[in-house]
Amino acid sequence: MYKIIAKRLLAPNIYLMDVAAPRVAKAANPGQFVIVKMDEKGERIPLTICDYDKTAGTVTIVFQTVGCSTKKMALMEAGDNFSDFVGPLGQPSELVEEDLEALKKKNIMFVAGGVGAAPVYPQVKWLHEHGIDADAIVGCKSKDYLLLEKEMKLVTGNLYVATDDGSYGYKGFVTDLLKDLIEKEGKKYDLVVAIGPMIMMKFIAQLTKNYGIKTIVSMNPVMVDGTGMCGGCRLTVGGVTKFACVDGPEFDGHLVDFDEAMRRSTQYQTEEGRVEIERQKKAEGHVCNLGLGE
């Protein structure tokens, strides 16, 4: 059993939990993920590691309620237990393995969309701890949905916020903001790391390809075991089939077949589920201009 040590509501329907999992905390690196299972009858859900405390033996996860399982998960409180919490899974971020001196010479930009701010955080934090202050763009619907702003400010060089409705920071999408920074403000980046909904990562990768900026994306396909034994999470990268859970989750964004990946992620959407997601979106006033949910 894996006890929830703390729970916090970060934004409407977005929760943070610190979970006691000493072995996972000890081995965790930025870029990796865990799989959680609530109880005997629950399904296995992959979640990117948002933070970890090796001394306290805790791992932080952030999730948004999108379906039946995450809604049930949101009802769990500090003191409750996950029956299973396994990880760290996947390859650590390439940044962790790169030569530090070479890394220091690079201008790095992180782009986070929605709940993607959570998995961006440990990477930016890791760089900050190693003397590198990367820039970051965080995009969300409106001010209420902005995650971890205070924490991010402490570890980034420049933090830019974009909201769909302009209620805070830049009005517009993260892609427009990145374009403006490069074209209007003359910012130069050697590397972009984008984490968020697949559609956002796709458009960021398209944009950076024009500028010839290397771009890493963190893929989030449907998973079951997360250890390479089923291939449910397979995707095409540079024409070759890869398993996101063992070969990734991070890949070269210019090589990923996003259309296939997005199509595959709808495989288990039921008719009821699709209706429910639409209903939620309407209730929250989110108008998706990027083609999601079509």
Partner 1 sequence: METKKRVPVKEQAPEIRRSNFDEVCLGYSESEAVAEAERCLHCKKPMCVTQCPVSINIPEFIEHVKNSEFEEAARVIAESSSLPAVCGRVCPQESQCEELCVLGKKGDAVAIGKLERFVADWSRENNIDLSQTLPKNGRKVAVIGAGPSGLSCAGDLAKLGYDVTIFEALHKAGGVLVYGIPEFRLPKDTVVQHEVDNVKALGVKIETNVIIGRTVTLDELMHQEGFEAVFIGSGAGLPMFMNIPGENSNGVFSANEFLTRNNLMKAFKEGYDTPIRAGKKVAVVGGGNVAMDAARTALRLGAEVHIVYRRSQAELPARAEEVHHAIEEGIIFDLLCNPVEILADEKGWVKGIKCIRMELGEPDASGRRRPVEIPGSEFVIDVDTVIMSLGTSPNPLISSTTPGLESNRKGCLIAEEETGETTLDGVFAGGDAVTGAATVILAMGAGKKAARAIDDYLKK
Q: How far is the CB of 90 from partner 1 (least distance, A)?
A: 8
User: Contact 34/86 with Cβ under 8 angstroms?
Assistant: yes
230: contact with partner 1 by CB under 8 A: yes
User: Contact 196/114 with Cβ under 8 angstroms?
Assistant: yes
68: contact with partner 1 by CB under 8 A: yes
Separation CA 193–CA 234 (nearest Å): 21
87: contact with partner 1 by CB under 8 A: yes
Name the DSSP letter for residue 103: H
Query: Exactly one of 79, 260, 278, 293 binds partner 1 (CB under 8 A); which one?
Result: 260
Q: How far is the CB of 120 from partner 1 (least distance, A)?
A: 22
Applying CB under 8 A, the span of 10-18, 130-138, 189-197, 226-234 interacting with partner 1 comes to 226-234
241: contact with partner 1 by CB under 8 A: yes
Nearest to 222 by CA among 72, 67, 110: 67
Count of residues engaged in binding partner 1, rule: CB under 8 A: 38
What is the spatial order of strands in the sheet that 45-53 belongs to?
A: 81-82, 2-11, 14-20, 58-64, 45-53, 33-37, 84-89
Query: Exactly one of 69, 142, 167, 206 binds partner 1 (CB under 8 A); which one?
Result: 69
Separation CA 157–CA 146 (nearest Å): 18
**What is the SS3 assignment for 278?**
helix
Site string for partner 1, 111-130 (x = CB under 8 A): --------------------
Separation CA 36–CA 223 (nearest Å): 11
Of residues 8-47, those binding partner 1 (CB under 8 A): 23-24, 26-27, 37, 41-44
Write out the H or E segment, with its range, that includes residue 22. helix 22-27
Provide the pairing of β-strand 240-243 with 84-89.
Answer: unpaired
Query: Exactly one of 12, 79, 166, 228 binds partner 1 (CB under 8 A); which one?
Result: 228
225: contact with partner 1 by CB under 8 A: yes
- Residue (102 or 240) nearer to partner 1, CB: 240
Phi, psi of 214 (to 5 degrees): -55, 135
Applying CB under 8 A, the span of 132-140, 145-153, 159-167, 224-232 interacting with partner 1 comes to 224-232
Can you list the pairs that 204-209 forms with residues at least 24 positions away whose Cβ atoms lie under 8 Å? 204/111, 204/174, 204/175, 204/178, 204/253, 205/253, 205/254, 205/256, 205/258, 207/175, 207/178, 207/179, 208/178, 208/253, 208/254, 209/254
- Residue (136 or 223) nearer to partner 1, CB: 223
Applying CB under 8 A, the span of 107-115, 139-147, 174-182, 256-264 interacting with partner 1 comes to 256-264
Query: Exactly one of 81, 172, 232, 277 binds partner 1 (CB under 8 A); which one?
Result: 232
Q: Which residues bind partner 1 (CB under 8 A)?
A: 23-24, 26-27, 37, 41-44, 68-69, 83-89, 224-225, 227-232, 234-236, 241, 246, 260, 263-264, 266-268, 270
